[in-house]
Structure 1
Amino acid sequence: MIGTDATAHRTTGPAARRGLAALASAVVLCTALAACNPGLSGRELDTISIGYQPGIGYAPLLLMRQERVLEERFPDKEFEWRELNSGAAIRDGAISGEIQIAAGGIGPFIVGYGNGVPWKVLVGLDDANLRLMSMDAESLADLKGSAKIAMPGPDSIQAIVLRKAARDELGSAGAFDSQMVAMGHPDGMQALISGQMGGHLTAPPFQERLTKEGANTVVQSYDVFGEHTFNSVYVLEPFYGANTEVVHAFRDEVADSVERLRDDPKGTAPELAAVMGGGVTAAEVEEQITSDDISYTTRPRGFMEYARFMQEIGLVEEIPDDAGEFCYPGPHTKDCT
């Protein structure tokens, strides 16, 4: 490992700093004007929007959407499912009131929490080993310079993984900040294959597809942070308080979907294939959800490990003393780490 100093540790790119400043301003504005955000109003809502991203990291939610379990439990309510390309977009939607139940990675959640977004973790969806893929490079040193690296955003969990790997291997957490390109996983995968990108820090099933295309694994997130949550469900506190019945039902349905994905991947694959579309087959989905790189679990873990590093490099200023402060009390969050 190359020696580091405090300056190297606290390097974040100008784009990330501008984004954090804009986030803080948006939080202040919408908190002051709670009427702009139904989730902050403390009212029971008849229309509830759920935000998530592409990929099998959201398989528990995809099952719920396909089977319309929420609509069956609450026939007088309307549930809108919105697929967006990044956790930052989902966070922005929660702040603006367009999304009440948000699903995404650790990075955008902690950045929001640290900047005053009044939300907490309701339940985990899965753990995943995220990989930095490249068609040519075999090490981070090979990528340093002009090669662009695709990932969902500058505060995505993938970006945090890259910064810690860069600090550990190259001595500077910000070594690749100027090379990061915000891009959704499907587009990032195609950009890497076509040679437009030098690297793509992604997630299942996109990293498996890239392996089949001949890409190399350069970094693995489990090597950088240990085993950790990939995606969880987050809910604004005022919405939680005013819509507790719906929130708890949502949590319970997630837990049921997670159990089925673990215990019966073959049985759940056809339903996932139907909701995913794009010509994917049930056999392909079964292969994806049984990959060694993903495991479905409701327990959130690794939040404090990420939060400490993010504070160290200046992405957030304040973090809680205990991971339990990130989470709502419940059967799946009692051992949150």
Structure 2
Amino acid sequence: MRAVTKTLRHVAIGLTGAAVLVVGMVAPAAAEGRIRIAEQFGIGYLPLHVIRYQKLIEKHGKAQGVDIQVEWAQLSGGAAMNDALLSDSIDVGAGGVGPLLTIWDRTKGNANVMGIATLNAMPLFLTTTNPNVKTVKDFTEKDKIALPAVKVSVQARTLQMAAEQAFGEGKFDALDRFTVSLPHPDGTTALLSGSSITGHFSAPPFQYQQLQDPKVRKVLSSYDVLGGASTFNSVWSKKAFRDSNPKTFAAFVGALREAMDVINKDHKQAATIYLATNKADMDIATIVKMLADPDIQFTVAPKNTSKYAEFMHKVGALKNKPASWKDYFFEDVHGEQGS
């Protein structure tokens, strides 16, 4: 527990400081040979950590005869990513499916922000310390469920989908009154400390750290709700950046695909990079075991993102209803078996 708390405190401080740094930054839009990328902490962003650690964008840029200057920043949450992207403080943002769909919908026909590729498919766990909670129907006014952002995060959307499945059509907001916004590190600390937080919908590695405590149980997985493997994180950018910087954009896509190969071929090397990049106080064997979980996949192909889009449109969170996942992802990944 002490090691977990130390790790969470480090991550929380890193995220908060980075968010202030990037949001307050005023900078001109990038030109060919320069790219500004915002990443987050957590296993879900491992492909970006590998790209940064191994300087893969620079490598792929040189192969095209371009010296690329890569600038990295760290932000907390999809909303902050989108604000930074729209203010031209960054060129590439990263986050959950919900924020990607939100900014695609918001900028359609204007800035035209679209997904570049996905970073992974990962199960998100809803956990609890309340022994009386066996399903989502068992949460009561005595419970508080921590989410990274109420109503808008991918965890919030997944919880709404689970609520509608449990309580019936149109009852998607049945659990909203029990939810509170907390960053994953704070939510995990609160859950484990026995505070008023009795539930947490988080992500790797936090959910696995929680389940090491015998009083924590898994209520459901996002894979249960979506009916199979589903994308957690993606990367996105403005169409104008892609059009104006074709070689730089291609170098980023090439670097991303190479990073996926590094992770999938050598879990130990990937775990070493994760620990070095995040300076996390975690055992490498724990990370390797996590990466070996068949439910965790590192792939550029979208999985079940259309189900989020359909749900968000149905509940009024999206004005535009995409015909398929290819409507909100650039054609660079249209050859993949996506959904």
Q: Cα gap change, 1:332/1:297 in structure 2, threshold over 3 Å: closer, same or farther?
A: farther
Partner of 2:158: 161
SS in 2 for 1:295: coil
The Cα shift of 1:45 comes to 5.2
SS in 2 for 1:212: coil
Superposed counterparts of 1:39-188, under 5 Å:
39=29, 44=31, 47-72=34-59, 73=61, 76-116=67-107, 118-136=112-130, 137-153=133-149, 154-171=151-168, 172-188=171-187
Partner of 1:235: 237
The Cα shift of 1:110 comes to 0.7
The Cα shift of 1:120 comes to 1.2
Aligned length: 299
- Contact 1:44–1:243 at 8 Å: present in 2 too? yes
The Cα shift of 1:307 comes to 0.6
Instruction: Write the distance in 1 (CA, Å) between the matches of 2:201 and 2:335.
Output: 28
SS in 2 for 1:217: strand
Superposed counterparts of 1:190-205, under 5 Å:
190-196=189-195, 197-205=197-205
Partner of 2:22: none
| TM-score between both structures, scaled by the size of structure 2 | 0.82
| TM-score between both structures, scaled by the size of structure 1 | 0.82
Instruction: Write the distance in 1 (CA, Å) between the matches of 2:275 and 2:105.
Output: 37
User: Is 1:222 matched with 2:219?
Assistant: no
Q: Cα gap change, 1:173/1:333 in structure 2, threshold over 3 Å: closer, same or farther?
A: farther
The Cα shift of 1:209 comes to 0.8
Q: Cα gap change, 1:120/1:143 in structure 2, threshold over 3 Å: closer, same or farther?
A: same
- Residue deviations 1:112-131 (CA, integer Å, cap 9, x gap): 11222521111121101111
Partner of 2:207: 207
SS in 1 for 2:330: coil
Partner of 1:14: none
- Contact 2:32–2:247 at 8 Å: present in 1 too? no
Instruction: Write the distance in 1 (CA, Å) between the matches of 2:234 and 2:82.
Output: 13
SS in 2 for 1:280: coil
Q: What is the one-letter code of the residue matched to 2:83?
A: D
Q: What is the one-letter code of the residue matched to 1:164?
A: M
- Contact 1:107–1:160 at 8 Å: present in 2 too? yes
- Residue deviations 1:288-312 (CA, integer Å, cap 9, x gap): 2223441111111212111111111
Percentage of identical aligned residues: 30
The Cα shift of 1:78 comes to 3.2
Instruction: Write the distance in 2 (CA, Å) between the matches of 1:78 and 1:146.
Output: 52
- Contact 1:148–1:180 at 8 Å: present in 2 too? yes
Instruction: Write the distance in 2 (CA, Å) between the matches of 1:228 and 1:67.
Output: 27
Partner of 1:9: none
Superposed counterparts of 1:269-284, under 5 Å:
269-284=271-286
- Note the residue ranges of structure 1 that are not aligned, 5 or more in a row: 1-35
Partner of 1:3: none
- Residue deviations 1:7-49 (CA, integer Å, cap 9, x gap): xxxxxxxxxxxxxxxxxxxxxxxxxxxxx8855xxx6256532
The Cα shift of 1:280 comes to 2.5
- Note the residue ranges of structure 2 that are not aligned, 5 or more in a row: 1-25
The Cα shift of 1:168 comes to 0.9
